[in-house]
Amino acid sequence: MVRRFRKVLIANRGEIAVRVGRTLHEMGKSVVAVYSEADRKALHVRMADEAYCIGPAQASQSYLRIEGILDAAKRSGADAIHPGYGFLSENADFVEACDRAGIAFIGPPARAMRQMGSKTAAREKMAQAGVPIVPGALCSTADEAVAAAKQIGFPVMLKAASGGGGKGMRRVERAQDMASAWERARSEAKKFFGDDTVYLEKAIVRPRHVEIQVLGDTHGNMVHLFERDCSIQRRNQKVVEETPSPVASPELIAKMGAIAVQGACAVGYFSAGTFEFLLGEDHNFYFLEMNTRLQVEHPVTEWTTGIDLVREMLRIAEGEPLGYLQHDVLRNGAAIECRIYAEDPATGFLPSPGTIVHLQTPSGPGVRDDSGAYSGCEISSFYDPLISKLSVWAKTRALAIAKMQRALQEYAVVGIRTNLGFHERLMQQSEFLDGRYDTGFIDRHEAELLPDSVPDKEGSLRLAAALALQAHLQARGATSTSAETGVPSAWVMTYRNQT
């Protein structure tokens, strides 16, 4: 039965709340925003039809508080909730609470979330479904982990059973390093996920991180929307994604896609979801985890397939069938996404929160900037320091890289440090241009990619432009410093904050 939603609450913040809200408005839905006290002036609040404060800045007291979000939904009269990504998006308890409250959850069923939410349980379930998994073991002590690692073979990875995003993860090269790595992994897993269970996997040498987007409806239809290569990572977190993968043949992707669909059907999945795989140099691939939500990097899939994933999630939640089969899903061209963060690559990519004094985003054919930021907004230390997701599309990978290079040069953020310079250097690195990279790429190329290790030609050009403009303004009687605040001009600050 098809049920039309009239009003949808977005249980999230930042760029994803803005992005989801845009599609909702295009579909004629009223948009309800929720916000913490720190986000009172956020862009997603300004763009919504109505908004409700749900608590203090701390996520645990606002965006992660199920009761507060459901209360806002009831007060607003929302008949559905879209969770975005992060926060409660993969929380089965939240899905069940929505069901009890009579509010539709725009996403997969709780039972599928539970089966795939624990990495250890997911590995077992996928192995039963015929999905290839990395050799591994669930251990109770560091000594058991050493014994398992010796049997599997070093190096190995310790991973949080209930986690993701690189938290609770340690690579162990030798038996004598296991005890300390075991304790650190368990401690981090407990801190971030409330569960200190960790498991062990064989470390695949120089792997690529390739994921398959799946999409299924409540009528039993399931398709895949091809792959995304997410191998450019720092601290086990993605910073650049692209499709198609530079190293995967259409035949390999068809095989991976069929396996992902098989795995999704095994748990009764519907809505958007992503199967993440490690792809070895021998082109063997292994199940890593399933993300039972919309991915951060979904724009590159939308670019190449022409399918609005948020719109499809809404249609599926309303009870509509997909309306297409696997052979109907086609893709065209190449897309790349760069995650623009308020962080300082020179200090190990540590966050750099603060106020954005001025923001200039790129545009033009084939350029998309998904953002929740604007000039004058604050990048809070309470949340992920993502400023935006800059993505581009072109007919070929080479043309897409050239377009990204141009877009990055147009991007300007004044007032905080960003990783824009890092992305500019990456897009000029020869091995990246050739598609020869893996998950350890950034670590191996620090000397070329990080600003404190190389002459900053881009910074020199920015400084030259800033000094030329300053001289021009002074000749007209202007100054390079605000008389009221004593801060440097925007152009000088641009140079300082992007080098």
Number of H helices, E strands in the chain: 18, 23
CATH of domain 135-202: 3.30.1490.20
Taking 50 as the threshold, does the pLDDT of residue 453 lie above it?
no
Lowest mean pLDDT among 251-255, 263-267, 284-288, 464-468: 464-468
- List pLDDT tens digits, range 99-149: 999 999 999 999 999 999 888 889 899 999 999 998 899 899 999 999 999
Element (H, E) at 252: helix 250-266
Q: What is the pLDDT of residues 224-246, one digit of tens each?
A: 999 999 999 998 899 999 999 99
53-80 b/e with 16+ CB inside 10 Å = b? bbbeeebeebbbbbebbbebbeebebbb
Digit-coded pLDDT (tens) for 154-164: 999 999 988 77
pLDDT of residue 445: 95
Domain chopping of the chain, boundaries: 7-106, 135-202, 208-449, 457-497
Q: What is the mean pLDDT of residues 287-295?
A: 96
Choosing from 65, 293, 339, 425, the catalytic residue is 293
Characterize the bridge pairing of strands 285-291 and 170-172. unpaired
The whole-number pLDDT of residue 119 equals 81
- Residues contacting 494, CB < 8 A, separation 6+: 358, 412, 413, 414, 462, 466
Distance between CA atoms of 238 and 149, rounded to whole angstroms? 27
Sign of torsion, CA 434 435 440 441?
positive
* Residue type at position 88: L
pLDDT (0 to 100) of residue 472: 55
What does the mean pLDDT of the chain come to? 91
Which residues, 6 or more positions from 448, have their beta carbon under 8 angstroms from its beta carbon? Answer: 425, 429, 454
pLDDT average, residue stretch 249-274: 98
For 7-106, CATH number?
A: 3.40.50.20
Nearest Cα neighbor of 236 from 201, 264, 260 is 201
- CATH no., domain 208-449: 3.30.470.20
Which has the closest alpha carbon to 99: 85, 117, 113, 84?
113
The pLDDT value given to residue 227: 98
Q: What is the pLDDT of residue 224?
A: 98
Higher pLDDT residue, 418 or 346?
418
Q: Give the rounded percent of residues in the chain with a pLDDT score beyond 70.
A: 90
293 tagged catalytic: yes
Distance of alpha carbon 222 from alpha carbon 228, whole angstroms: 18
4-13, 17-26, 129-138, 320-329 — which is least confidently predicted? 129-138
